[in-house]
Structure 1
Amino acid sequence: MVRGRAHHRHARSAPAPALDRAGVPPLPRLPRQRARRSGPDRAPQRSPLVRRGLLRGRRRGGVGLSLPGLPRRRLAPPGAASPAYLAAFDDLPREHGFEPLEVEGALPDALSGTFYATGPALSGLFGERYPHWFDGDGAVSAVRFAGGRAEGAVRLVQSAGLRDERRHGGLRYAGFARAFDWPLHLRPVFSRAKNTANTAMLAHAGRLFALWEGGRPTEIDPDTLETLGTRDLGGAVRLAYAAHPHAVPSLDTVFGFGVRVATGRGPKPLLDLFATDAAGRTRRLGVVPLPFLPMVHDFIATERHLVFFVSPLRVRLGRLLFGFGGYAENLVWEPARGTEILVVPLDDPERVVRWRTEAFYQWHFVNAWERGADIVVDLVRYDDFRVGEWLQRLWQGRPLPEAPGRLTRAILTPASTRCQLEERAALPVELPRIAPAARTRPHRVVWSTAHADVGAMRRGPQDRVARLDAETGAATHRSLGGGVYPGEALFVPRPGASREDDGWLLLFATDVRERRGSCFVLDARSLETVARCRFRDHLPPRLHGAFRPR
């Protein structure tokens, strides 16, 4: 076992201490940038069809539809050239149905099914660049594997907000960092944000959904990638279904959550809990009150509990309600609050055990399981929220700070409200995944994106694929080539596999040199490339995905 930093906490639930404003400051509000062609910025990549104007029609099948291109201003320090990696965030130039991909290598005959992923695909609209990558309108990409062949498709999610903006010829909605325009702030606050469906995919009970943090799931046709509309899952979802549901195989259930603010006698932040059975029927499992409005991105499930780590990243709700800045601008890191741990029993969701430990932040959990009186939770842990600054500067092309996230194990003892944290590996990683068969039980292997070391964070996005041993801390990682930036690596087991790592990793990658997107198939044990499937055009970075077996 790796002997990492261990921190013991015996604190019980208590009133929150006085707030300490020290720590990471609120994210600065960015001015809206009008695109221009002068200066050191690279010329925009625009197709001839794009130059003819905004195309509103749609075509099915292999013939693509070019999307409205935008001149893009690369935000860089005065006098400095734009970093080469910024080309990864260029707009999706063409959407299309399934068409044959150029395959380098040999695809396994046993690999059969469709790999889906979503991510921001437009850097702005109507000549205005979005202030943050997370504001980008989502597009769902897919690769269909069958008989040693691969076909690929990609389509922009036609959200209600995007359609409304195109009708009016201008941006009308808030986003992660974009503030809404006056006098549109007079609309109810939760109708001001555009559901971009740009974060994660859920394939369950024969249906496919693209997910976004602050709204309802968007259903996608799994065969054509057409947008079918947002869904309230049978009336269970009032406002939001967050982007990271988790399946518990032994219960044949997918659990999810959403954060909302109830109105009435003052705003009350709440955590809605959801359970979806094998037939796709969703019910509200319970509601957990929150002491403030936090940014909660993920959680984890065991066979008996749901576990949340509520970091002290507070949304200044009053300012947001009255239209003073966007969501990101109103995020404040308040370390004196500590991180609150919520343990929700599945058999009695109202009997929540909650206590505080030291302040830290996490985007993503890895896995969790029951071990006697303890709950073991693996996650990617950050010391604070400097990763928020790193993401914002990444989008701007500005000098980057070091803000590593590391594989960490939390051992929780709810009966005595203890939390012990152990760092398991030093490699800076993100977007962790495990074998689906290992969910809710002890696992050994974690796959992720990574930087080669902490210093590499100053040079750009994660550019490596990693395999971590959660017990020994051993890490192997590899580059997919210069200028190639991988997305989340999803594990697909080989038919009849008995080993945890017997199968393939599927991932989308953005190649800024070739200006073409790819889907890689890697050997999950060695990380060697089995095959590379190339799209004809550029594909912006993908975030989270799902696999639908044939």
Structure 2
Amino acid sequence: MSSYVFPDVPTHTGNGIDVSKTHKACKNIVENLRDSKMDDAHKVYVRSMDQATTTPVKGEVDGEIPLWLEGNLFRNGPGVLNIGDTWYNHLFDGMAVLHKFTIKGGEAFYRSRILESDTYKKNTAANRIVIDEFGTRAYPDPCKTILQRFMSKFSGLQLDSPDVSDNCSVSMCYFSDQLFAMTETSLMRRVDPETLHTVGGRTNITNYVAVNMATAHPHVDPDGTVYNMGTSFTGNKGPTYNIIKFPPKKTLPDVVVKFHVIRRSDGQLLETKYEADTFFFFHSINAYEEDGQIVIDLCCFDDGAVVNQIWLENITNPTETFNKAIQATPRRFVLPLNPQKSPAGTNLVTLPGTKCRSTRNAKGVVHCHSQDLSQDLMEMPRINYRFNGKKYRYGYGFIPTKGLNCGTLCKVDAETGETRKWKMPGFQVSEPVFVERPGATEEDDGALIASLVNEKEQKECCFYTGWVHYTFKPVRTYEFRYMYERDRRPIPGSLFTASRPPS
């Protein structure tokens, strides 16, 4: 195990908690941070980054990383939770921090950088939050005159206004050969994939396609074509959903289609209307067509209460209502494509082995009854991406337990319902990524990688790599970690035991 000596790291305001110097609107959050008896797993979510690691550091490898496992893993998320003495109120709101893991030749390296957004620059210049976010209202900008502040209350906020946040803190995606940080608005920020520096100004997709907002979770075809879903509020027909297609080149055409069920072959909207019991979801697992039926797998919440529960104040003092609201279940729906050929009221789902049901009423509307794919919860789902849009068997994610305690990786078998789990006490896991072994013939023949957060040691970053073929036990585990030293004394510790994978 090795450690690294860094220059003196300045203490971020948020970690030196002082209620007397805290903005009055933030006192409840800061008091909870100081006095709360919340467990270590939840304390992870209220850390505010001290300093980014802009120079790559080499990790100590415990075991052996396969030589075929090579490339870059980019991660993104809200990592700066306070500016000066003002705090963000909601988990979605913190300033974006970009992370890059580089794996090459059996070695691993790490670097990070705060996204250099206009929002971050304005906030830090004012030393307080001056741009609104999803759940946080801005505090007055000391750089503005009283008249400017007064007039801003009467100015209609435009989506391309500089006062709209470009804090792209949700995901990262390549469009052709350009890497972008994304969020759930129309704004994206281009990022240098080597240094993580922000390149150029804001990119507003409204300038290229007729949408006002788009999701931060696009899908990418093998040829580089990017598909995403957007919404439009200003069209002649009123609010609409739109499917956006970005060809694998730098020009972004104006291509939209309304969304119900759309054939990819010709872009035609199906006339059949499909309904289901109310649910809410952030992330889809996969979808594919089989025997004239569409199979859709999602991580479903029973309702949308999760959005109104993940305020930082609730995370610092979680309740049973909070714990229940953030429980997502892997769930399957089956949509028959030709329901008109069957009598009303009969089950139209004919796929073997599924408990899903779909019935058509007299008006031709098909109601879809779902099936849970596992008895366990699951969020942040991933699959072997070679099976994206195709029939698949295995999904990977993490299992939230006791609120936002996300310390368990999981592998869900969509055929049998069996769920295999892996966890390391004292660590929170990220969304996993499956990397298929070259020459693999089985869907799950490969490695699962995920970054880990040490619940107690803030100055540590590491990731887990494990074989998942046939079993989810850590028959071969690899570790990359880097740590700050304190007073030049290494921080001791070791995570995993390495052993041989099955032959």
TM-score (norm 1): 0.69
2:120 match: secondary structure:
helix
Runs of 4+ in 1 over 6 A off after TM superposition: none
Q: How does 1:387-402 map to 2 (within 5 A)?
A: 387-392=306-311, 395-399=315-319, 400-402=322-324
The DSSP-based 3-state class of the residue aligned with 2:386 is helix
**Does the CA-based 8 Å contact 1:83-1:397 persist in structure 2?**
no
- Distance in 2, matches of 1:76 and 1:353, equals 51
Matched position secondary structure for 1:446: strand
Which of 53, 65, 72 matches 1:114? Answer: 72
Aligned twin of 1:93 = 50
Q: Is 1:345 aligned with 2:263?
A: yes
- Which residue of the partner structure matches residue 485 of structure 1? 428
**Which residue of structure 1 lines up, in the alignment, with residue 392 of structure 2?**
443
AA partner of residue 88 (structure 1): V
Cα distance in 1 for residues equivalent to 2:74 and 2:51? 17
**Residue 306 of structure 2 corresponds to residue 384 of structure 1:** no
The answer to whether residue 182 in structure 2 is matched with residue 211 in structure 1 is yes
Q: 2:457 aligns with which of 490, 497, 514?
A: 514
C-alpha spacing 1:465/1:49, structure 2 compared with 1 (3 Å): closer
Contact 2:405 2:428 in 1 (8 A): yes
- Distance across 2 between alignment mates of 1:77 and 1:144: 34
Task: Give percent identity, aligned residues only.
Answer: 21
Cα deviation, 1:94-150, whole Å, max 9, x if unaligned, reads 211322123222221111111111011101112111001110111110111111111
Distance in 2 between residues matched to 1:343 and 1:495, nearest whole Å: 35
Letter in 2 for 1:188: L
- CA distance in structure 1 between the partners assigned to 2:198 and 2:33 by the alignment: 39
Which of the residues 366, 387, 402 maps onto 2:285? 366
3-state SS of the aligned residue for 1:164? helix
The 8 Å contact of residues 120 and 133 in structure 1, kept in 2 or not, is answered as yes
Partner AA of 1:345 in structure 2: R
Q: Which residue of the other structure, out of 302, 307, 330, is the alignment partner of 1:407?
A: 330
| Residues 424-464 of structure 1 deviation map (CA, whole Å, 9 limit, x = unaligned) | 1110110010001111111001001113xxxx324x42110
**Residues 1:472 and 2:421 are matched in the alignment:** no
State the distance in 1 between where 2:208 and 2:294 align.
28
Q: Retained in 2: the 8 A contact 1:244–1:256?
A: yes
Q: Which amino acid aligns with 2:157?
A: P
Deviation at 1:508, TM superposition (A): 1.2
Bigger RCO of structures 1 and 2 (CA < 8 A, at least 6 apart): 1
From the superposition, tell whether residues 484 and 78 of structure 1 become closer, same or farther in structure 2 (CA, over 3 Å): closer
* Aligned residue among 413, 424, 438 for 2:373: 424
Asked if the contact 2:83–2:127 (Cα under 8 Å) also holds between the matched residues in 1, the reply is no
1:105 corresponds to: 63
1:532 CA displacement: 1.2
Provide the rounded CA distance (Å) in 2 between the counterparts of 1:435 and 1:242.
22
Offset, 1:522: 1.7
- 1:284 equivalent to 2:292? Answer no
Residue 78 of structure 1 deviates from its aligned partner by: 11
Equivalent pair of 2:176/2:224 in contact (CA under 8 Å): no
Deviation, 1:350, is 6.0
Q: Aligned residue for 1:169?
A: 127
User: What is the alpha-carbon distance in structure 2 between the residues aligned to residue 68 and residue 535 of structure 1?
Assistant: 23
Larger radius of gyration: 2
Query: What aligned pairs does 1:4-403 form with structure 2 within 5 A after superposition?
Result: 49-50=9-10, 71-72=16-17, 73-74=29-30, 76=32, 80-89=36-45, 90-95=47-52, 96-180=54-138, 183=150, 184-185=152-153, 186-190=155-159, 191=161, 192-228=163-199, 229-232=201-204, 235-237=207-209, 239-249=212-222, 253-262=225-234, 268-288=238-258, 342-346=260-264, 347-348=266-267, 354-392=273-311, 395-399=315-319, 400-403=322-325
Shift of 1:217: 2.2
Distance 2:31 2:270 in 1: 49
More moved, 167-176 vs 108-117 = 167-176
Q: CA deviation at 1:278?
A: 3.0
User: Whole-Å Cα distance in 1 between the matches of residues 59 and 189 of structure 2?
Assistant: 27
Q: Are the aligned partners of 1:111 and 1:146 in contact in 2 as well (CA < 8 Å)?
A: yes
Does the 8 A contact of 1:76 with 1:82 survive in 2? no
Structure 2, unpaired ranges of 5+: 1-6, 18-28, 140-148, 340-364, 486-503
The 8 Å contact of residues 132 and 395 in structure 1, kept in 2 or not, is answered as no
Quick check: which one's strand share is greater?
1
> Can you list the C-alpha shifts for 1:209-268, whole angstroms capped at 9, x where unaligned?
11101132221111111111432469424643320101344x7522012224217x8x94
Find 1:531's aligned residue among 478, 492, 497: 478
> Number of matched residues?
416
* TM-score, reference length from structure 2: 0.75
| RMSD of aligned residue pairs (Cα, Å) | 2.8
The CA distance in 1 between the partners of 2:296 and 2:453, in whole Å, is 31
Q: Is the 8 A contact 2:70 2:103 kept in 1?
A: yes
- One-letter amino acid of the counterpart of residue 102, structure 1: E
Cα separation, 2, equivalents of 1:78 and 1:49: 21
How many angstroms does 1:394 deviate by? 5.1
8 Å contact from structure 1 (residues 141, 153) kept in 2: yes
Q: Is the 8 A contact 1:273 1:287 kept in 2?
A: yes
The AA in structure 2 aligned to 1:533 is: F
1:13-43 deviation digits (Å, cap 9, x = unpaired): xxxxxxxxxxxxxxxxxxxxxxxxxxxxxxx
- Residues 159 and 78 of structure 1: CA distance in aligned 2, closer, same or farther (over 3 Å): closer
Counterpart-to-counterpart distance in 1, 2:393 and 2:454: 31
